[in-house]
Chains A and B, each alone.
Chain A
């Protein structure tokens, strides 16, 4: 309990102090993108890290949120928050519809099915040119909340930072609730969880829908912030990027997901110094990290610290 508040407080302090250390808008921009990715990853981590269910298709839900906002706000002139809610609802409905049949699958078959759904969504977005603008994407109006326009990197930073804190707080509460315990139980063994009376199908569907909604909301905000949305933001490689952030930072660690999102958002920018070799470097770093730290960054580091002090709580 106190542990949870401590972590949340630490994150709040870091987010509050971060802008002081960022010299210009370029870095602020990266922090905003990292924050939006982190929101998706905190949700995805509930599914992948805690419930142990792989998803290689969550960029599809990010894309649905982003395109719902783009189409409803820019084409149909809906209020931004209403469009965001509509996108989240659509994501939830799609996620709910596919959740039960798909989450019966295990391991690589589940990876295949989620990958398939993500790709189908991205192909629809790419192909329905009359609505979505096709491969070139769409221009999106700025975020306007009750007549107040969110404008400029500095304001956006505080919006995203605030929302990230709320997301993390929600996730931490969920993990420490009976729902969270049920998820961890079914991760350990579904049969064992069922014998204890856990409705595994229901809990898996629930966390799948929840993670889809987080991704959708982040997608809506991204569309407003970037001002342009393309189908590439919903494709397989984006899905891979999101899962990689979760696993890189540390599965079943909410703060690990945030750290993973931050590092892997910034890393490709840093690697541009390698110019032509940047993709090789990115692939190499991913491989080496996963080979030598299969549990991910934060749990491995926490394990080292714990081994040294040999006291302190879990995580």
Chain B
């Protein structure tokens, strides 16, 4: 039982990061129908900036904010100069544009921060807590708390604020939103900025657990995409659920089956689910307009 609880804690912790990435995918997908393959790079930017800036003596909160600001700037630039200009291109062309962006960002990160691993101390000491026989690091609590706060804030933003409602309206019907006065171009930029901020914050809190390096975003991003597809693309609640499901399944199978195949779990789940439910777990079946 203690063992199971331990795997569960580990799974929920890493699942939180997948959930933040998946939420980022969902927000961008809603605003622009683009799957942003550079989403993982936002996580990397958050982790790297926080780790290197604190190492240079910058206070932690400031370093995190700088990482978030940097990621948001990059997100807006990608949206403005790449995605918006190519908005009528085919799905595969848009995929390659965002993959081009991710290759560029990894290259840039190599130049700025180097290829080595960067260490970041836990936010509040290394003494772990015991919870029903399972070891819980304080950093896990940080990850869970920050993720919960961010998800709550995102939910409030979309349901309570005018800007959030405008973004939701755009995702339902771009033309109709435009007709009632929503500036849909700003919506796309805001979506990229918001998803970049979520990713970078996730990267900062997970960095003490995973270390940060220029390629840390590749797998995190792909698993985030898997989680987003699992929940049904564009479904925010589904994305969060998908992230947690992927994280927990990964941790349990690493513990009970094989740790070597840990990274494959997310993809086995998503392929199996899509075969039976082509719109993900919580997505509606699509219809084709002829």
Q: Which residues of A contact B (CB under 8 A)?
A: 48, 54, 56, 98, 101-102, 104-109, 111-113, 115-117, 119-120, 123-124, 127, 189-192, 236-237, 240, 243-244, 247-248, 251, 276-287, 290-291, 294
Residues in B whose Cβ lies below 8 Å from that of A251: 90, 92
- B90 engages A279 (CB within 8 Å): no
- A112 engages B107 (CB within 8 Å): no
Q: Tell me how far the C-beta of B155 lies from the nearest C-beta in chain A, rounded to whole angstroms.
A: 24
12 further contact pairs, Cβ within 8 A, besides A113-B270, A191-B290, A291-B97: A108-B29, A109-B278, A113-B274, A116-B271, A127-B261, A237-B218, A240-B96, A282-B104, A287-B100, A287-B104, A290-B86, A290-B97
- A105 engages B278 (CB within 8 Å): yes
- A244 engages B99 (CB within 8 Å): yes
The closest CB in chain B to the CB of A123 belongs to B264
Checking A108, A127, A284 against B104 with a beta-carbon cut-off of 8 angstroms, the contacting residue is: A284
Residues in A whose Cβ lies below 8 Å from that of B261: 123, 127
- B101 engages A247 (CB within 8 Å): no
The closest CB in chain B to the CB of A119 belongs to B267
Interface size on B, residues (CB 8 A): 49
Give chain B's interface secondary structure class.
helix
Report the Cα distance A279→B35, complex, angstroms.
22
Report the Cα distance A39→B162, complex, angstroms.
53
Give chain A's interface secondary structure class.
helix
Residues in B whose Cβ lies below 8 Å from that of A123: 261, 263-264
- A236 engages B82 (CB within 8 Å): no
The closest CB in chain A to the CB of B279 belongs to A109
Q: Tell me how far the C-beta of B27 lies from the nearest C-beta in chain A, rounded to whole angstroms.
A: 15
- Annotate B77-90 by CB proximity to A: 1 below 8 A, 0 otherwise: 00001100110111
16 A–B contact pairs at CB < 8 A?
A102-B274, A108-B91, A108-B229, A111-B35, A113-B270, A120-B268, A127-B260, A127-B261, A191-B288, A236-B218, A236-B222, A283-B104, A283-B105, A286-B100, A286-B103, A291-B86
